[in-house]
Every structure is written in C-alpha cells, then in structure tokens.
Amino acid sequence: MLNRAIVLFGVWIAFFSLYAQEKFTISGHIRDAGNGEGLIGATVLVKEIPGTGTTTNIYGFYSLTLPEGEYTLIYSYIGYENIENPLTLEGNTKLEIELKEEKMQLNEVVITADRPDQNVTDIKMSRENLKIEKIKSMPALLGEVDIIKSIQLLPGVQTAGEGTTGMFVRGGYYDQNLILLDEATVYNASHLLGFFSVFNPDAVKNVELYKGGIPARYGGRLSSILDIQMKDGNSKRFSTSGGIGLISSRLTIEAPIKKDKASFIVSGRRTYGDLFLKLSPDPSLNNNKLYFYDLNAKANWKIDDKNQIFVSGYFGKDILGFDRLFSFDWGNATGTVRWNHLFNDRLFLNTTLLFSDFNYGFDIDLGVQNFEWKSGLQEYAAKFDFSYFINPKLTAEFGSHTIYHTFSPATITPGGESLFLPYKIDDQFALEQAFYLGLDHHMSEKIKLQYGLRYSQLYNFGKAKVYDYEGDFENVIDSTEYNRGELVNFYHGLEPRFSAMYLLNSKSSIKASYNRMMQYLQVASNSSAGFPTDRWISADSHIKPLIGDQVALGYFRNFKENMFEASVEIYYKWMQNVIDFRQGADVLLSRNLETDILSGDGRAYGAEFMIRKNLGTFTGWVSYTLSKTERKIEGISANKYYNAKYDRTHDISVVLSYDISDHVTLATNWIYATGSAVSFPVGRAEIDGKSIAIYDDDNRNAARMPAYHRLDLSATIDLDRKPRKWQSSLSFSVYNVYNRKNAFSITFEDVTNGDPNFNPDADGAEINTVEPSAVKLYLFSVIPSITYNFTF
C-alpha cells in the first residue's frame, strides 16, 4: 500500500537524520507572563534560517533541534509582544519563555513580514482556531457566551435549527463530531435541550475545530474534531472573575498553589430562572424546577523540568421537574489525569487516564402511570501520545488510545401502584483501540507534508445475546449467548491521513489533504435535533462502523502585509454505512435495534470562502459556503439520493468587531442560510374523521424551509478606565435586531378560525371555520440582554 510506503519512508528519514550531524536541542515552554498559562500554537522562528521554526503543542511545549551555531530565536503569539532571543548554541538548552500580552491597541505598523503567517505557510487546512476572547466579544443569545454557537458561524458548520447547539460539519451528522474537553469525550454538549452548550467560557483556554486534514492522533468520528482545552489556572497570583447575566451567573477562582509551580482553577455556572419561580405564590409554579449548572475544576503541578501533572474535571447537570408529576435530568461528568513527561529534550510523552459519563433519567408519576427511566454510558480511557522532535524539518507523533465503553440504554422501574412492568435493555460493552503514527515533514521552504496512519479496532464483549435473522431482519432464526468478557465481534481498519502545502510565494499557498476516518459509535436517532435522550450505540455484529473519506483542496492568500487572510477550500466527502430508521422504529426501547436500521451512503461536497482580519481595531471574518449534502439509503426515498435535512445550499456569516476606543468594543454578526431541506405535503386526505397531509415518500426532503437570516449587535464597555486590579465591564447584546421571524418548524395542521393559537377549551370559544393550514413556529423575536463581567 502506498500509504504504508510513505510512512516507512518517513521513519527512514527520521532515522537517518538522527546521525547525520552534530546538533543540539532548544526546548521549553512558552507561557503567558500574566498568568502562567501555557500558550498553544505559539511560534518559535529562527531568524537566520527563514522557514525554520516550530510551534508549541497544547501544553505550551516546544522543541527545536539545530546545528551548533549563533542564532536569534523569535518567540511570538498573536496578541502578545514578540521576544527576540540571541543565543549561541553549544549544547542542549532549556528556554522557558514568558510572553506579555500587548496592552495597547495593536498598531498596524508592528506587523512585519517577520510575523509568522500561519494562514499561508502552515500546513493546516480545514481547521479553525477561535480565541476564547474573540468568542466572548461576539453577540450572544440572552448574553450567554456560547462556544458551539460561535463555531456554527464558521464556514462548513451548519446547525439543526435556531438556537440549537448541534453541529453538522461538512455534511456530517451531529454525532460525527468528536468533542474533547481536556481529552475526555463529551457525549452530549447541550444544556436546556440544546439551547446552550455545556462549555463555560470562563474555564476554557483554547478551541480548535478540525473539519478535514485531520492528523493521525485523532480518530473515532467521521466529520470533525472539536478539541477544547481548559485553562490551567493562574500560577502567578490569585484572581477571580465572573459575570452576572439574565439567565445565569458565573464565578471563577484561580490561584497558584505554589508560585510558578502549581496552580488551580475552579469555575462554576448556574442558571437561576427557577429561583424566580419559587417566589411565585402559585403552587403549580413554585414547585417546578428548571435549571442547569456546570462545574469545571483543574489543577496542575510542575514537578520538575521533565514532569508536569494536570488533573481536570467537568461536572454538569440539567434538572427540570413539574411538581411531582414528572422530573427529568441529564448530565455529563468527565475526569482527566494527564502526565507530561520529557524523556529528553526531543521526546515528549503525554499520558492520559480519563473517565467520561453521560446519563439521563426521568421519573413520571401520574397515578398508575408511574415509572422511573434511567439510561447512561461510560467511557474509561488510557492514551499515550508521544511527540518526537527529530529535527526542525521533521516531527513525529505516535501513540496508542484505548477506550472501554459501557452502555446502559434503558432501565425502567415501575413505582408504587404502577401498571407498568419492569423493563431493561441489556448493557453493551465495547473496546476501541487505536495505534497511530504521524509525521510532520518540512521538505523545503516551499513544501510541507503531514502524513500518517491510524489503525483502529473495535471489540464487542459479552455479556451479550446476538440474534441471527432470516431475510432482511424479518424473523429471528437463532441466537448465540456470550458470557461476560467473551469476544463477540471484531472490526478494524486502516485510516490513512495526508496533508500537503506548497508555498507559491510569500503571500500565497496551495494546500491539499485526504483523510479516512472510522467511527464505531453513533447516535440512534430519527430526528434532526440532538436530544439528551439520544441513544448511543456501538458498531456490533449487525451494525457496521461508519467509514468516511474526504479530500480537500485549498488556496490561501494574504493581503496587505498579512492584515487580511483569505482562503478558498473545496471538499468532497464520501460516507459509508450511515444509518436511518424504518418508519415507526422504537429507537429508545428496542432490544433488537438492528431490525429497525436502514443503512446506506452519504456524500457531501462544497466550497468554502473566507476572508479574515485578526489584527487591528477592526477584526472579524466574512465567510460563504456553497454546499450539498445527500444520503442514499435502501428503503428511503425510493432508494435514490435525497437531501439531508441539514443540507443548506448557501451559508453566509459576517462576524465583525470594532474597538471604538480602548474601552468600548462593538460587535455584530449577520447570518444567512438557505432553509433546511424538508418534506412538504403534496395533498390532503380525510381519514378517521380527520384531515391529514399526505407526502411523496419517494422524494424525501425535496422542499425548503424559508431562508434563515438574522443580525445581532453587541457593545462591551469597560467600566474601570484606570488600570486597576478590579476590572469590570458591561455587555449589551441584541439578538435578531430586525426581528426576523425565522421559522423553527412549519407544521401542516387544521387551524380553527384562522388563529393557530385558538384554544377550544377557553370560555366562549366558538368554532366558525376549520381549515387545513400551515403553521410556522418561530422562537426568538428581538432579544436584548445585558451581562456584567468582572475580574480582579
């Protein structure tokens, strides 16, 4: 296989270069001088050898190996002052660097050709990095800064609908995104039914989205990786920050445990709508519960030059209840322990042990209709990730990821005088194992390559009962029982990854990538918006793993001394074994889910245009995506390709912010998207005394919802003009400024008296007309909000 040959070739080069010359290594961390946080993706350049340099990893660590000699190293990071460090390299050198944040507004003259221009020269493509400060300055629904909603404004990312946090990346379904919080998988990233995402922006340091060109160290999902790192905690001084908003408040405390050696951060957030409900004298209101909270905590300890330990955890829960009639709660919990170890100046190992849990439950107590329903899943993982900085032209990443999954799809326990029987779907057990090797290869100043291979495996273990079917899952003809721990089924696959960059000139480059991804877990769902009750299932004897292949080609160009970054990317993606369900499938309670599953192929292609300005008083981006996403599934839409529900032909985002003065920032978003693809009726029938819409089942999703567009504005005003410890600001935000009534759904139903809100039980209600109609539900009109933020 060609890809294997490439990898072997890379290893050979690595081996050769080790012994070729007398070389020394400069290594260390690059950190923020203000709070000691490691800076991710900061660059180190060698002034004397243009095109030579490296960037820090997610722990802020870098390593650069050069021949003996005199050098000037330039350390830089956007929004921070550069440091130029002359040095005589005569032996291996440790250089711990701290960069200062640029306090003044950026003077455009500061931007010189020296500043590394990653847009053009880096091999990264199909990748988006959002600084948390940028996310915080964007207008937000109800003032709740939301990482996932900000990401939805990037090209190639679609939403399920207004206000929802499900992401559809380059035609992938929302369960095809691997969301990592400090390496731990977050299975359901939404609060309040998806209106808010679970990431507390105060606790987050860095957000990186991979839509394509995915390096070998990531795997497990078809369409994207959303890699989120939590802050480490201020290792310089005690600091507190927080905010009070309309629906939630936040508080973060961070402090050194031992200055520059150990620190911690604890960050919490809670909504308080329910506290107002308690004030109501009406017992049918004040007994209701509806809130969510998040708690992020992290500590780190630099044991010595070679060892550092991070312990982090996330715990979040949504709780709602109506009197004692029913209650519903769901939540994620993750825990991660990481150990950074340097074997030597060039070999870095991060070992991660982690646990992730998602569960939901509800309790219904309506007389004899009384039961409790519980569902959950857990993952236990060990990851070993090595980085080997072979020489300035070659870096190797390799490692092993082992994840053990348990799924408890549903356990129903009747309570009291319930008429229900106890019911349980058997737990499911699976182990994912992956080995990977990836090489970052700077062939020359003009050509960079990144290539690698991931080998992934899935083991299904007992206890399990596997059925054999006759025909198309029609009748069970036999079954096999497996004991606990016994191997039931095995899948494996090779996932080649390849990216290349060719620098055309100092201002422009061409990049190309190919990646194959395998996905062994997915959500069984027949709706398009994600739910807390989504049932995650593993590939097994009957359900095949998803396979995705993507090619992308891009042209990257900068203008005006790198002030403006522009890019065009085209992509094509093939997806195999995507699933849908037979009509009326009992997705949540079926013990033989395979009998309801239909599978087929998906394809997505498109072009993404982006122009971005990161520097100066006026920053932001404008992006346009032209795309198509289709599926072809045996048994649906006459076995033809049909539009995926979230297929949006045109998608435009304008995200701008302007610093009017040192103390006032204005920001705006404008979003336009073609309406989602839906099935509309092709007629009407009268059955059972009711009028019912009829559909053309051979042409699913052939109609379109009305186009979606919206303008948001915000202003952030610093209240403390003098540089003091206590800093506070007010953010005003207006969502949907011109009050577009964007359709969340359109339903086809009978409307009485021409009024969709007609209530037949109301006093004096008189029915004059009942007509078949279309009713639009729109969620948000103009929504102003105000948030107070502070830090000291």
Partner 1 sequence: MKRLKNMNLKNGWALVLFSVATLLMTGCLEEVRPDLSTAEPILVIEAKAIDYPDTDQDTAFVLLSLTGDYYEEQAVPKVTNATIQVTDLEANVSYELNHLEDGLYQSVFEMKENHTYQLDITYNGKNYQAADKNVPVPAIDSLKYEYLEGQLFREDGYYIYFFGSTPKEQINYYRWLVYENDSLYNDRSDILIAEDRFVQEEIAGLEFPYRFEEKDTVKIEMYSLSEDVYIYLTEFGNLLFNDGGMFSSPPQNPPSNITNLSDPEIEPFGFFQVSSVTSEEIILNPLDD
φ, ψ dihedrals at 309, nearest 5°: -120, 140
Residues 187-206 touching partner 1, rule: CB under 8 A, are 192-193, 195
Smaller CB separation from partner 1, 321 or 616: 321
**Per-residue b/e over 546-576, b at no fewer than 16 CB within 10 Å?**
bbbbbbbbbebbbeeebebbbbbbbbebebb
Residues 664-693 touching partner 1, rule: CB under 8 A, are 678-690, 692-693
Q: How far is CA 491 from CA 28, 367, 485, 756, in A?
A: 41, 47, 17, 52
Residue 413: what residue type? T
12 neighbors 5 (Cβ within 8 angstroms): no
Q: How far is CA 302 from CA 231, 266, 299, in A?
A: 15, 18, 10
Q: Taking the CA atoms of 73, 77, 78 and 84 in sequence, report the sign of the dihedral they define.
A: negative
Q: Kindly state the smallest distance separating residue 776's Cβ from partner 1, in Å.
A: 4
- E strand or H helix at 134, and its extent? helix 132-137
Q: Does 757 bind partner 1 (CB under 8 A)?
A: yes
Smaller CB separation from partner 1, 493 or 756: 756
- What lies within 8 Å, CB to CB, of 382 at 6+ separation is 351, 352, 353, 401, 402
Residue 85: what residue type? N
Among 589, 730, 765, 786, binds partner 1 (CB under 8 A): 589
Residues 722-741 touching partner 1, rule: CB under 8 A, are 741
Q: Taking the CA atoms of 34, 37, 42 and 44 in sequence, report the sign of the dihedral they define.
A: positive
Among 746, 788, 790, 791, binds partner 1 (CB under 8 A): 746
Angle at 710 between CA 649 and CA 557, to 5 degrees: 60
Q: Does 774 bind partner 1 (CB under 8 A)?
A: yes
Q: Does 415 bind partner 1 (CB under 8 A)?
A: no
Pick the stretch among 54-62, 259-267, 365-373, 510-518 that binds partner 1 (CB under 8 A): 365-373
Among 272, 301, 315, 326, binds partner 1 (CB under 8 A): 326
- Please give the sequence-ordered ranges of beta strands (E in DSSP) within 216-346, or none if there are none: 224-230, 239-244, 248-258, 262-271, 289-304, 307-322, 326-342
Residues 257-316 touching partner 1, rule: CB under 8 A, are 284, 288, 290
Q: What are 290's strand-pairing partners?
A: 320
Smaller CB separation from partner 1, 173 or 556: 173
Q: What is the DSSP string of 650-699?
A: EEEEEEEEEESSSSEEEEEEEEEEPPPEE---SEEEEETTEEEEE--TTS
Structure tokens at 292: 């969510």
Cis ω on the peptide bond leading into residue 463 (within 30° of 0)?
Answer: yes
Pick the stretch among 80-88, 342-350, 428-436, 529-537 that binds partner 1 (CB under 8 A): 529-537
Smaller CB separation from partner 1, 266 or 588: 588
Q: Does 533 bind partner 1 (CB under 8 A)?
A: yes
680 neighbors 724 (Cβ within 8 angstroms): no
Among 217, 269, 442, 700, binds partner 1 (CB under 8 A): 700
Smaller CB separation from partner 1, 25 or 637: 637
Q: Does 581 bind partner 1 (CB under 8 A)?
A: yes
d(CA 153, CA 165): 12
Among 44, 204, 529, 579, binds partner 1 (CB under 8 A): 529
Residues 370-399 touching partner 1, rule: CB under 8 A, are 371, 373
Smaller CB separation from partner 1, 66 or 523: 523
Q: Does 51 bind partner 1 (CB under 8 A)?
A: no
Smaller CB separation from partner 1, 454 or 645: 645
**Per-residue b/e over 123-151, b at no fewer than 16 CB within 10 Å?**
bbbbbbebebebbbbbbbbbbbbbbbbbb
Q: Kindly state the smallest distance separating residue 542's Cβ from partner 1, in Å.
A: 21
Q: Kindly state the smallest distance separating residue 510's Cβ from partner 1, in Å.
A: 40
Among 107, 526, 639, 739, binds partner 1 (CB under 8 A): 526
Structure tokens at 26: 């400069």
Q: How far is CA 403 from CA 82, 316, 400, 561, in A?
A: 41, 22, 10, 46
Smaller CB separation from partner 1, 363 or 540: 363
Pick the stretch among 65-73, 383-391, 425-433, 780-788 that binds partner 1 (CB under 8 A): 780-788
Among 24, 435, 473, 778, binds partner 1 (CB under 8 A): 778
Q: Does 429 bind partner 1 (CB under 8 A)?
A: no
Smaller CB separation from partner 1, 285 or 510: 285
Pick the stretch among 99-107, 364-372, 429-437, 563-571 that binds partner 1 (CB under 8 A): 364-372
Structure tokens at 368: 């004899």
Among 754, 765, 786, 792, binds partner 1 (CB under 8 A): 754
**Cβ count within 10 A of residue 590:** 18
Q: Does 87 bind partner 1 (CB under 8 A)?
A: no
Residues 52-81 touching partner 1, rule: CB under 8 A, are none
Q: Kindly state the smallest distance separating residue 330's Cβ from partner 1, in Å.
A: 11
Q: Does 411 bind partner 1 (CB under 8 A)?
A: no
Structure tokens at 452: 């690698």
**Per-residue b/e over 727-740, b at no fewer than 16 CB within 10 Å?**
bbbebbbbbbbeeb
Among 281, 416, 471, 584, binds partner 1 (CB under 8 A): 584
Pick the stretch among 50-58, 459-467, 480-488, 772-780 that binds partner 1 (CB under 8 A): 772-780
Q: How far is CA 169 from CA 126, 151, 198, 369, 568, in A?
A: 11, 10, 19, 41, 17
Q: Does 471 bind partner 1 (CB under 8 A)?
A: no
Binding mask 31-50 for partner 1 (x = CB under 8 A): --------------------
Residues 596-655 touching partner 1, rule: CB under 8 A, are 645
Chain-centroid distance, C-alpha 693:
38
d(CA 582, CA 765): 41
Q: Does 767 bind partner 1 (CB under 8 A)?
A: no
Q: Does 344 bind partner 1 (CB under 8 A)?
A: no
Q: Kindly state the smallest distance separating residue 275's Cβ from partner 1, in Å.
A: 15
Q: Does 557 bind partner 1 (CB under 8 A)?
A: no
Q: Does 592 bind partner 1 (CB under 8 A)?
A: no
Among 362, 407, 514, 536, binds partner 1 (CB under 8 A): 362
Smaller CB separation from partner 1, 50 or 367: 367
d(CA 639, CA 598): 11
Residues 96-155 touching partner 1, rule: CB under 8 A, are none
Among 72, 479, 483, 747, binds partner 1 (CB under 8 A): 747
Q: Does 472 bind partner 1 (CB under 8 A)?
A: no
